[in-house]
Structure 1
Amino acid sequence: MGHFIDRRLNPKGKSLGNRRRFIGRVRASVKKSVDESVRRRGIADVDQSEQVSVPAKGISEPSFRHAAQGGKRQAVLSGNRTFRAGDKIQKPPGGAGKGRGREGSADGEGEDEFLFMLSRDEFLDIFFEDLELPDLVKLSLKEIAAARPQRMGYTVAGTPANLSVERTMRNAIGRRIALRRPKTRETQALEQQIRELEARVPADEAEPPELIKLREELDKAQRRQRRIPFVDPLDVRYRYFEMQPEPAANAVMFCLMDVSASMGEREKDLAKRFFVLLHLFLKQRYDKIEVVFIRHTQVASEVDEETFFHSRESGGTVVSSALNEMKAIIDARYPPSEWNIYAAQASDGENYRGDSATCAARLKESLMPLCQYFAYIEILEENEIGLMQSDDNGMELWRAYRGVADDWPNFAMKRIASPAHIYPVFRELFVRKGGLVADV
């Protein structure tokens, strides 16, 4: 089987399709490179474009070569002014020439990768392609988000951009068949017969009746062709679109973060990194989702995005204040009958004595029945990495939340102790149902 490679330059504005096809062809290698880049760049910089590499074998193309049975051939390529046929070329030392057409190196390893730049949108699409909000369903269609054009058949009037050539030609063919319009090959056959007959008749003799009859038939056929056009305005059809309202499910994500004095700069930095990644994921993945930011010390308050990520604050720790604030906002703005409600909470586990039981009770009785999904992240000290896989040990808040997780399957809790743990934990919390968690 032969393969033909189209190396013509892309016309202006036509390279996007080719680029998408190329990324799809090497998607496995690109996905691996994207996952590896997460480990070496900061979470705050994850939405930047990235230069990725793919193995050269992944972009190899078939080529024509002389068969081995054809014997030895010697040739000097055009443009060469250094060598002649029969000259012997010394082999590069250390195997530097290994890999046809690729740059050599001092240790004998050749360049075997192809580098190209992923745009920000391409990087994020691949970065988040297998993540999803768990159980995102349309509980209610509260509002009409937008009106989008939808195909509604064909019409006899429209713009040239919407012309349906296929339907137009189908109508034209059907009309010509129904009206028995003479075909072009039939008139050409008559013309050929007339020319052959005229060639046999001497110029000084009268035209035979057969020739006169053929000319009459040709004239009749041509007049009928003119009366029955190849394409009539009645045949023309345009694709018809109507603006149809597109309903959308309403979803809201609550981000709760402890900014009390017990949360040192390290813990706050890890919490911010987790929420930056979450916020970026939500903005990239969903067009119709609202995000509510709640910070708390001994009191909780709703803040904007800038304050949530960058403002400095300290004080005591009463975690239940954030849950109470979340419940108040739900009651005021997000009725569960019309909204899909999600929540993510980050804390170091420190809490006012006795308040952890209040938090668990508030979750079980008031919030979990309303939430589609609730994720809790506990930030450990660097010397507590051994507790990451433990379910029973830890702070009082962790033990209290353990009871919530036992009663509510839509409640998930994880621990992190360093920036390297954030992305794997994030993927475990939001991996698409039925998907696999990548080992990164």
Structure 2
Amino acid sequence: MISRIEKDHRRFREIVRGRIRENLRRYVSRGDMIAQKGKETVSIPMPQIDIPRFIHGDNKGQGVGQGEGDPGDPVGEEEGEGGAGKAGEGEGDKTVEVEVTLDELAQILGEELGLPNIEPRGSQTLETVKDRYVGLRTTGPESLRHFKATFKRALRRQISMGTYDPRHPIIVPVREDRRYRSWKAEPKPQTNAVIIYMMDVSGSMGDEQKEIVRIESFWIDTWLRSQYKGIESRYIIHDATAREVERDVFFSTRESGGTMISSAYRKCAELIEREFDPSNWNIYAFHFSDGDNWSVDDTAACIRLLREQLIPASNQFGYGQVESPYGSGQFIKDLTAAFGDEQMLVTSEIKTKDDIMDSIREFLKGGR
């Protein structure tokens, strides 16, 4: 039988889930959910939630239709001028922070956006080895000695030999009494994936544009991590040159130089070649820029790198163009003209934070 508290908790989670779905676009655009509490949960601010329930009792003449008054009189209002009165001294609306796991968040995102589960590429299944203790044996390292089994064996031996004294229960194991844990190495299939984020940090990319990238990256991360058991994230920033950086640096760096997008694509291709063999990894690359590039020749170099190296190695390559008052916005047009209906290359225009949800859907709806 399910206890009342378990029913209330389940009902509470259902209400929380419904509130998140109803306000998902607002949460996404404002970044409310990125207040990370730990590796597996996030904290979500929402109005206080009360579990509705019936309360039995005596109305004592205070219910509707009882007491003094004539038909047509307003219910529950005091006489006096409407809206008049002193400032309130009571408590206002309360908000609570509800912790939600990233898996729950990913499930809500998938349901709201209608995202299909990802089908990993056929050969990207690695075998990791996991040790499992399966029994005891008479030899082994001292670090694996099973003390309880050893002393039980010694006690049994001393009782059978008549040397055990209950008044002085001293048990002294000998070499033959020692027992050690034995283990078995079992292969464990594990699908691995890597997400490579690239971002233009030149002078035309301001704080607002980088905040959009931060929010969208969080949601892409959340969804892809729900689809794979093992996943890594790598970060590349670029202006006229590119370099790999840590996550915090990725979201806080701002440069003032020009833009050569090919530098980021070369760095990404080098990273894949060095560390992520496409036959063993599911590779996702996402590049965010305002669409401004140094020259037509550099754009041609980008298209060549995409066609010859990055797209063949990736499950999907995503390009998100963030609108900036200083960027030309030309690059997405060049990609569209060069690749047409290429399914492995997905482009998205993100003019404001309100477009993030639609951009996420564009990037993830293919289920690749």
Which TM-score bucket, shorter chain as reference?
A: 0.5 to 0.7
Matched, 1:88 2:67: yes
Q: How does 1:225-264 map to 2 (within 5 A)?
A: 245-264=187-206
Q: After the TM superposition, which residues 425-436 of structure 1 pair with which residues of structure 2 at under 5 Å, given as runs?
A: 425-431=359-365, 433=367
Shift of 1:330: 0.8
- Tell me the equivalent position of 2:272: 330
Q: Which residue does 2:100 correspond to in 1?
A: 120
Cα distance change on mapping 1:41 and 1:325 into 2, 3 Å: closer
Match 2:284 to one of 333, 338, 342:
342
| TM superposition shift of 1:433 | 4.5
Matched, 1:77 2:37: no
For residue 311 of structure 1, what is the aligned residue in structure 2? 253
Structure 2 CA distance for aligned equivalents of residues 330 and 89 of structure 1: 81
Aligned twin of 1:32: 22
Letter in 1 for 2:22: K
Show CA shifts across 1:372-420 (max 9, x none): 1111111123699xxxxxxxxx743222211354252121101111122
Q: Which secondary structure does the structure 1 equivalent of 2:304 belong to?
A: helix
Asked whether the 8 Å contact 1:319–1:356 carries over to 2, the reply is yes
Which residue identity is paired with 1:143? E
Q: List gaps (5 residues or longer) in structure 1.
A: 65-75, 98-104, 107-114, 150-241, 385-393, 435-440
Cα gap change, 1:432 to 1:374, in 2 (>3 Å) = closer
Whether the aligned pair in 2 keeps the contact of 1:146 and 1:247 (CA below 8 Å) is no
Contact 1:382–1:417 (Cα < 8 Å) also in 2: no
**In the aligned structure 1, how far is the partner of 2:326 from the partner of 2:200?**
21
Change in 2 beyond 3 A, CA 1:359/1:145 = farther
SS in 2 for 1:326: helix
Which residue of 2 is the match for residue 278 of structure 1? 220
User: By how many angstroms is 1:422 displaced?
Assistant: 1.6
TM alignment of 1:6-405, pairs within 5 A: 10=5, 15=6, 19-20=9-10, 23-24=13-14, 27-28=17-18, 30-42=20-32, 44-45=34-35, 47-51=42-46, 77=58, 80=60, 88-90=67-69, 94-96=74-76, 118-121=98-101, 124-125=105-106, 127-130=108-111, 131=115, 134-144=118-128, 146=130, 245-283=187-225, 286-353=228-295, 354-381=297-324, 395-405=329-339
Determine what percentage of the aligned residue pairs are the same residue.
Answer: 25
Checking the alignment, whether the CA contact within 8 Å between 1:320 and 1:356 is kept in structure 2 is yes
- Partner residue in 1 for 2:169: none
Are 2:28 and 2:356, in contact at CA under 8 Å, matched by a contact in 1? no
Shift of 1:344: 0.7
Counterpart AA for 2:236: I
Question: What letter is aligned with 2:46?
Answer: Q
CA shift in 2, pair 1:285/1:87, >3 Å? same
Distance in 2 of aligned mates of 1:312 and 1:395: 19
Q: Which residue of 2 aligns with 1:211?
A: none
Please give the TM-score of this superposition, normalised by the length of structure 2.
Answer: 0.64
Output the CA distance in 1 between the equivalents of 2:203 and 2:96.
45
- Deviations along 1:91-129, one digit per CA (max 9) or x if unpaired, are 8964559xxxxxxx98xxxxxxxx976323276245434
**CA 1:325/1:51 → structure 2, altered by over 3 Å: closer, same or farther?**
same
Report the CA distance between 1:143 and its aligned residue: 3.1
Q: Deviations over 1:14-66 (max 9, x none)?
A: x4x75235534885555214444444555644842232578x9xx777999xx
Query: Is contact 1:139–1:340 with CA below 8 Å preserved after alignment?
Result: no
Distance 1:250 1:403 in 2: 33
CA, structure 1 residues 63+323, in 2 after alignment: closer, same or farther (shift >3 Å)?
same
Do 2:129 and 2:185's aligned partners in 1 also have CA atoms closer than 8 Å?
no
Cα distance change of structure 1 residues 61 and 320 upon mapping to structure 2, 3 Å threshold: same
Contact 1:50 1:120 in 2 (8 A): no
- Tell me the number of residue pairs that the alignment of Structure 1 and Structure 2 aligns: 293
The farther-off stretch of 369-378 and 425-434 is: 425-434
SS of residue matched to 1:142: strand
Deviation at 1:290, TM superposition (A): 0.7
Paired amino acid for 1:142:
L
SS at match of 1:294: strand
Secondary structure, aligned partner of 1:248? strand
RMSD: 4.3
User: Cα 1:136–1:402, aligned 2, differ >3 Å: closer, same or farther?
Assistant: same
> What SS class does the counterpart of residue 381 from structure 1 fall into?
coil
In 2, distance between residues paired with 1:49 and 1:243?
A: 41
Structure holding more strand per residue = 2
- Taking a change above 3 Å as real, the CA distance of residues 324 and 254 of structure 1, as seen in their structure-2 partners, is same
Rg larger for: 1
Cα displacement (A) at 1:141 = 2.4
Q: Give SS of 1:421's match.
A: helix
In structure 1, C-alpha distance between the alignment counterparts of 2:132 and 2:279, rounded to whole Å: 26
